[in-house]
Amino acid sequence: MWLGFYVLILWAWWVMFSMSRDMDLDLIGRPGPMGQAMAAMDPRMDMYMPMAEFGPLFSMWAIMMAAMMLPTLIPTLRSYDDLIRSANGSRAGWLGVLAGYSIVWVGFAAVIAGIQLVLLFGGVVDMLGIAKSGWVAGGLMIAVGAFQFSRVKEVCHGVCHAPMTYFLGHWRTGFAGGVRMGLGLGAFCVGCCWGFMALGFVGGVMSLLWMGLATLFMVLEKLPQIGHAVTRPMGFVLIAGGLVLLVYPISYGG
């Protein structure tokens, strides 16, 4: 099961890499006549019309959630593994935790895909999902940075950082029990990490650099040894970066 789990993560990253590479190729002139005509107006629009539709956009976000969030689940699944050996946990329950967690993040993918469409048609972001204004980007960075110091972040991070405590307090057996616990853990995880997903509107939702850095930091946040030590420093970094964008606003998406 662990092998299948890691294969799923690698597959999701490969899909995102392929999508990003294909988009980069199309930006330099591979589209057909209609795409070329649109490129004459905006060089970045030719291959991104599907990103103005909910279905393709939701699929992209769902795969992105798998690539970015499944690696952060490793400490939680390892904790459940310990309960298989020392308590009445089971492989079915392990799969249930994974399923419940994934359901929550797929649901969040649907929500953020809808938000991106609203921002797109409202003229706030471009077809790449990048904020058109440095003021918007800076404000978003400050908001996410400030959230790092909030009570909600503290509570949600506490659960994500110590999944064993959650298991002991909400223990359910079997696959159905695992799904219930996975749903709860996923909800706390969304509450903890939603801001880093929203920052995709600053760096570009298809940016592999943003995806990699955000995934690395979210994994570090959940490590027992250093998780609490990185949360607030990252808040300071984000607030400082946002202030820089407000003082020196730049155009992102136009």
Give domain status of residue 225, yes or no.
yes
Read off the DSSP letter of residue 123: T
Give domain status of residue 23, yes or no.
no
What integer is the mean pLDDT of 44-54? 61
What integer is the mean pLDDT of 28-32? 43
Give domain status of residue 9, yes or no.
no
Q: Mean pLDDT in the chain?
A: 85
Dump pLDDT digits (tens) for 62-120.
Answer: 999 999 999 999 999 999 999 998 888 899 999 999 999 999 999 999 999 999 999 99
Give domain status of residue 79, yes or no.
yes
Domain ranges, residue 169? 52-247
CA distance 97 to 233: 31
Query: If you search the block for the tokens 């649907």, which residue do you land on?
Result: 110
Using the predicted structure, report yes or no on whether residue 47 has a pLDDT greater than 70: no
For residue 5, give both structure tokens.
């789990």
pTM for the predicted model, two decimal places: 0.85
> 246 phi and psi, to 5 degrees?
-75, -35
Domains contained in the chain, number = 1
Give domain status of residue 59, yes or no.
yes
Give domain status of residue 68, yes or no.
yes
CA distance 85 to 83: 5
Q: What is the structure's pLDDT at 234?
A: 93
